[in-house]
Amino acid sequence: MTLDTLMAPLMASEAAETPDALRRQIDRCAPLFQDLGERLRRLAPRFVVTGARGSSDHAATYGKYLIETQLGLPVASIGPSVVSLYQTPLHLQNSLYIAVSQSGRSPDLLRLTETAKAGGALTVAFVNDETSPLFQMVDVAIPLCAGPEKSVAATKSYLTSLFAFLQMVAYWKADPALLATVADAPGWLEKAMALDWYPGLSHLAAVRGLYIIGRGLGAAAAQEMALKCKETSRLHADAFSAAEVIHGPLALVGPDFPVLALTQDDATLAPTSDAIRRMVGLGATVLSTAGDIPGVVALPAVAGVPAELAPLTAVQSFYMGIHRIATDRGLNPDVPPNLAKVTETV
């Protein structure tokens, strides 16, 4: 960790701990993921459902695309209010339910998890707080190993949640390539942490709003970045798929409405690049990891990073720059107005 990082807001210094947190998760949880992978191969669930809120739900979006593309199983997010408010029983026989939470204490998520278990699902939780009720109630509890996180804006707990999904899928599929990606992940994030996104992100310091787009595995990164723009910088940002944005939302794009566009080197790259070119053609300021597209403001990306890790490296780089935009806008990124670290909903 550099002196600049130590002097940065708490959000940035905690984000800088992520590579070491990934190493802790590998060291502590690899046997848990191996056992879970063997159990899931025996169970052969028909489908997967997730339960989460906020940044944790964004992590579940990444898990959805990873499971669907690697294992061919449908994944759906269940709104906790279906159980906590509507009091609907769930029929989840021969399924996998995954809860994702930093605190493991929100009443609605606890109620949803209880109902999923009663409905016949194998229940798994990725949780940072190992003393929490959620950690105790599931069939398989796996700690995120992020360590204490005091900034209201979640950083390392979000990235370790994505990494937990990657570890689970790698062991479930027993895929040597994915397992190698898991082993190499801390090093990739260290490279991402060294990249400077501030010159590109500085274009956002004086704007009122923007779109953040990604596709496939990158959708979760777009969602998380949009939330962090709101939380830290009081900057309205909407996350869209690069496919969806070219429908109605494209009407807002132009010289006074910027776009942050994420890419990864997989099947989504060509159509996402086409969408970026279209928005550049509308006169928008487009910040993008696709720095080779004429007219974009390049955001540096880690060369050669596996597609499964590209959303993690992009978010890592973003975290190291967005706090400076908050400061430029006269805000404290560690203490967003109207928010608390642990949010309990019903």
What is the SS3 assignment for 279?
Answer: helix
Tokens of 296: 């974009």
Report strand pairing: 286-288 vs 236-241: unpaired
Please give the single-letter amino acid code of residue 104. Answer: G
Residue 177, burial from CB neighbour count under 10 angstroms (0-12, 13-18, 19+) = exposed
Q: Which residues pair with 261 in a beta bridge?
A: 213, 288
pLDDT digit string, tens, across residues 166-188? 999 999 999 999 999 999 999 99
Residue 333 pLDDT: 84
Q: DSSP states of 87-132 as a string?
A: ------TTEEEEEEESSS--HHHHHHHHHHHHTTPEEEEEES-TTS
CA angle, corner 88, sides to 86 and 94, nearest 5?
145
Q: Does domain 195-329 have CATH number 3.40.50.10490?
A: yes
Q: Do domains 10-181 and 195-329 have the same CATH topology?
A: yes
Q: Where are the domains of the chain?
A: 10-181, 195-329
Q: Within its chain, how far is the Cα of 66 from the centroid?
A: 12
Residue 3 pLDDT: 35
Rounded to 10 degrees, the C-alpha dihedral 142/148/153/159 comes to -40
Residue 7 pLDDT: 44
Residue 55, burial from CB neighbour count under 10 angstroms (0-12, 13-18, 19+) = buried
Q: Which CATH superfamily is domain 10-181 in?
A: Glucose-6-phosphate isomerase like protein; domain 1 (3.40.50.10490)
pLDDT 10s digit of each residue in the chain, 346 long?
443 443 458 889 999 999 999 999 999 999 999 999 999 999 999 999 999 999 999 999 999 999 999 999 999 999 999 999 999 999 999 999 999 999 999 999 999 999 999 999 999 999 999 999 999 999 999 999 999 998 878 899 999 999 999 999 999 999 999 999 999 999 999 999 999 999 999 999 999 899 999 999 999 999 999 999 999 999 999 999 999 998 888 888 999 999 999 999 999 999 999 999 999 999 999 999 999 999 999 999 999 999 999 999 999 999 999 999 999 999 888 876 654 545 556 6
Q: Percentage of the chain surpassing pLDDT 70? A: 95
